[in-house]
Chain A
Amino acid sequence: MSETMAAFLVLTGLWMVGLTNLRTKLVVYGVQTLALDAAAVSIGWQHGELALIVVGLVSALLKGLAVPTYLLHLTRHIGCRRDEGLFIAPPLLLLLTVGVLSALLLLRPMHDALRVADLPALALLLIGMILMISRRMAVSQIIGFLVLENGIFYYTIAQPRSMPLLVELGVLLELLAVAMLAGLLAFRINDRFEHIDVTALDSLRD
């Protein structure tokens, strides 16, 4: 995996943290996922691993195209375009995120459990979580979750020994199901409450 690719992935992730337009964010997510899948395919091609190529192609189809398209359709249908964020304004959050990631880099070389090549994966994972935390709209939570999963996928393809094809495909399918389900839930929530602001969903506790 080239360093350019890793930098591209992390930078697109950071870009998403700074974005307030939901639809742009979805497009950026799609581009990021497609880039990641291209990387997976190229690595598979280099090492002659059929499994990685298949996983990359299927992932591009499902995560890179199907999920963003579906979510774009959803946002258009619900009519929600912007997500201004919670507590912290996105530009400030962007700076904070960069700070956290740099701190992570400073903590670096300790032992072999986490290699240098895995750091971008970790960064994507944290960016995914931060995306989930910092936004109000349910669609943003879905995007955050998907970015988090991108981090995990990056981690698996950066490993010298990749996961078995079957497991990887299973994860992909599951992810598709989760995204669809979450989208459907957001749709229903909008139906019922006429908004998809999850901060207003705290009255369900006992």
Chain B
Amino acid sequence: MTFGLPALLVAGAVLAWGLLLSGGRAHRRSALLLLSGGCAALIGGVLLMAAAPSDVYLAAPFSLGGSPFAFRLDPLAGWFVAVIGLVAAGTAPYQPGYLRHLTRHAETRAYWPSLGLLLVSMVGVVLAANAPTFLVAWEVMSLSSFALVATDGRTPAVRSAALVYLGATRVGTAALMGGFLWAHAQSGSWTFSDWHLSGAAALGPGLLVLLGLGVKAGMWPFHLWLPIAHPAAPSPVSALMSGVMVKVAVYALVRLFVLPAAFSHPALGVTVLVLGAVSAFWGVLFALLQDDLKRLLAYCTVENVGLILVGVGLAMVASGLGLPVAARLALAAALFHVLSHAVVKALLFLAAGAMDVATGTRDLRLLSGLGRRLPTTFACFVAGSAAICALPPLSGFASEWLLYQSALGLAVGGSAPLPRFAAMLLVGWIALAGVLALACFVKATGIAFLGRPRSAEMAEAVEVGRGMRIAQIGLAAVCLLLGLGAPWVLAALEPVVAPLAPAAAALTTVWTLPMGSLAAVLALTVAAAWCLRRTADLAQPSRTYITWECGFGDLGPRMQATAGSFAQPLLRLFGNLMRYAVTRRVEGDRADLFPRRITVVPSTDPILGAHVYRPAVQFIDRCGRWIARCQAGSIHAYLTAMLVVLLLLLVVGRMVP
């Protein structure tokens, strides 16, 4: 066992985050610990990517029913440790300011300990080498994040959201546990690297594990907890959960299905691909519908997880088809998107939190005209929106460009006609999701920041404190750097994806865009535009006037486009999927000529929630009530039940050899 510098750094990060358990209300000190731990994890993770894999076992007394606490430090784990560290460090400066705001209406004493546990357990999940270690870390991760979602537990909505999240994690863990037990029964080992199930033997455990991970990742149709839990959680927590925690599930997916494939069956790859594609479209469509900014971002996470899953699914399918080079590119795209989306989504959630702090609301029906009042948040939100819509030269562009490349590569380079056709369709599908994402973020940015303030709160909003701004600027800068430095990121990814196709040409050869010249063109364009503006200003002084006034005089801020009206055309297009309907009622004596009052109420009926999950929950509830009736309170009844079960077990135990 070699305990090199990377392992030491990761251990240091875990120690720093572990110290958060004593966080209490010392916000500044805790933020510093978070930051230092994040930096250590980032550097340690990056070093791990270049180092040879090594295994770490805890000594004998720390064992989990026959298998030790085992950790494996390899390039793939390094990549995710680095992502965790990056986002943790990125949100650190933001925390004290936000917590000061949060303390006014919520109890924050458990905040830092839960956050520390969450980060440590995420590192634990990523490094775990066997199933018991993984499950322990996974459970700590689920429970600590539940505690974080429930931070503002005095609000009934937050309480119910936290319970929904807890329920989702229970279902996920149960499925995961079942899958692991099944895999253990078939392979006789708890260690991930010993699992090489293929064919029909892989299908059952593989699907169960996929279900468990899908619930955590927010894969369609198990994504429903995301838009409920994220708005309820404090913003930095949403940033961590959405940016990193759902990616931890993606990590497990890559670890168990791709690198190396513990479960290999053609149906598994296709399942991941199809569900990923549906998630991408479904997520962004519902994001477009939302009025709550954080709900919108949560649905957008569903979309991006879908895109990542498309990449992972492509890698699985391509491996199955015997196209290792295409598989490697698809996996690299998925991993790059993991990083890119982690940073961008953290940035967007922090910006949403800043708007919440400044105005007291996240409702897009109320937010308006904040651009002048919150210039830094505005700039950072625009940067994040551009990145998440995959506009160059930001990070989202780089990762999605790779995703297109890998899908096109499969379409052009594959052999069988059906996969080629499907890959072609997939390109169009991803593009559709991309366009809808653009519309969605034009809506979010435009409605919240542009135009005129609709209320006094908006007009008097004050920019948030320095720490909160620094965090946003830092993450926005990372977005830009990741976009511009895409070839270097790819070079760093090389050892991670190398096991798929060891002999293939370097990944960087795929990146055919001339980054230097493009950056120069961009810089020149910006400079030229600025110069033109200056000369125009000098020639004729500009006049600031009401937007969209058209010579009628003051139109009033209520006449601006709203979030609902902006999204309406697109929603009508896909209205059947969510039963989108707009009810318009006009009141007045001669309503057609002299309307006194016009009400327009858009309504939706989310199919999945209303027609699948609610009946299921109601059924379980009814069963629960029925069982509760058996709770007669009679001691003899309980004892008899125990005796009957004991006898049954004895009989069954003797019948089954």
Q: Inside 8 A of A111's CB, which chain B residues have their CB?
A: 657
Q: Is B551 an interface residue (CB 8 A)?
A: no
Instruction: List B629-657 residues whose CB lies under 8 Å from chain A.
Output: 631-636, 639-640, 642-643, 646-647, 650-651, 653-655, 657
The count of residues in chain A whose C-beta lies closer than 8 Å to any C-beta of chain B is 24
Chain A 104-142 interface residues, beta-carbon cutoff 8 Å to B: 104, 107-108, 110-111, 113-114, 122, 125-126, 129-130, 132-133, 141
What is the chain B residue whose CB lies nearest that of A128?
B643
A residues less than 8 Å from B632 (CB atoms): 202, 205
The residue on A at minimum CB distance from B653 is: A113
**A198 interfacial by beta-carbon distance below 8 Å:** yes
User: In terms of DSSP, what is the predominant structure of the interface of chain B?
Assistant: helix
Contact mask B103-117 → A, CB, 8 Å, 1/0? 000000000000000
Cβ-neighbour of A129 out of B634, B639, B653, B654 (below 8 A): B639
A199 touches B634 (CB 8 A): yes
Interface residues of A in 153-173 (CB under 8 A from B): none
Residues of B within 8 A of A132 (CB): 639
Structural contact, B636 and A133, CB atoms closer than 8 A: yes
Q: Which residue in chain A gives the minimum CB-CB distance to B656?
A: A110
Q: A133, B650: Cβ atoms under 8 Å?
A: no
| Cross-interface CB contact of B643 among A110, A113, A133, cutoff 8 Å | A133
1/0 per residue, CB under 8 A from B, across A188-206: the answer is 0000000000110111110
| B643 close to A126 (CB less than 8 A) | yes
Q: Determine the distance from Cα of A202 to Cα of B655 in the docked complex, in whole angstroms.
A: 37
* Count of chain A to chain B residue pairs whose CB atoms are closer than 8 Å in the complex: 45
How far apart are B637's CB and chain A's nearest CB, in angstroms? Answer: 9
B654 touches A110 (CB 8 A): yes
In the complex, are the beta carbons of A107 and B631 less than 8 A apart? no
Provide the residues of chain A in CB contact with B639, threshold 8 Å.
Answer: 129, 132-133
CB of A86 within 8 Å of the partner chain: yes
Bound Cα distance from A98 to B415, whole angstroms: 73
Minimal beta-carbon separation of A124 from chain B (angstroms): 13
Establish whether residues A199 and B636, one from each chain, have CB atoms under 8 Å apart when the complex forms.
yes
Asked if A104 contacts B650 (CB within 8 A), the reply is yes
Contact flag A86-B643 (CB < 8 Å), given A111-B657, A122-B650? no
Contact yes or no, A129 B643, CB < 8 A:
yes
Cα distance A86–B636 in the bound complex, in angstroms: 9
Do the beta carbons of B653 and A141 come within 8 Å of each other? no
User: A129 contacts B646, CB within 8 Å?
Assistant: yes
| Neighbouring B residues of A114 by C-beta, 8 Å | 654
Quote the shortest CB–CB distance from A50 to chain B (angstroms).
26
Asked if A202 meets B643 with Cβ closer than 8 Å, knowing A113-B653, A122-B650, the reply is no
Are B654 and A107 in touch, CB under 8 angstroms?
Answer: yes
CB-defined contacts of B640 to chain A, threshold 8 Å:
133
Chain B residues contacting A133 (CB-CB under 8 Å) are 636, 639-640, 643
Looking at the assembled complex, report how far the CB atom of A156 sits from the nearest CB atom of chain B, in whole angstroms.
Answer: 18
Residues of A within 8 A of B633 (CB): 201-205
Closest to A107 in B: B654
Interface residues of B (CB under 8 A from A): 631-636, 639-640, 642-643, 646-647, 650-651, 653-655, 657
Besides the known contacts A126-B646, A202-B633, A202-B634, 16 further A-B residue pairs in the complex with CB atoms under 8 A apart: A100-B647, A107-B654, A108-B654, A110-B657, A122-B650, A129-B642, A129-B643, A129-B646, A133-B640, A133-B643, A199-B634, A199-B636, A201-B633, A201-B635, A202-B632, A203-B633
Question: Which 8 A-B pairs give the minimum distances between C-beta atoms?
Answer: A205-B633, A202-B633, A110-B654, A129-B643, A133-B639, A202-B634, A198-B635, A107-B654
Please list 25 pairs of residues, one from A and one from B, whose beta carbons are closer than 8 Å in the complex, sorted by A's number.
Answer: A107-B650, A107-B654, A108-B654, A110-B654, A110-B655, A110-B657, A111-B657, A122-B650, A125-B646, A126-B646, A126-B647, A129-B639, A129-B642, A132-B639, A133-B639, A133-B640, A199-B634, A199-B635, A201-B633, A202-B633, A202-B634, A202-B635, A205-B631, A205-B632, A205-B633
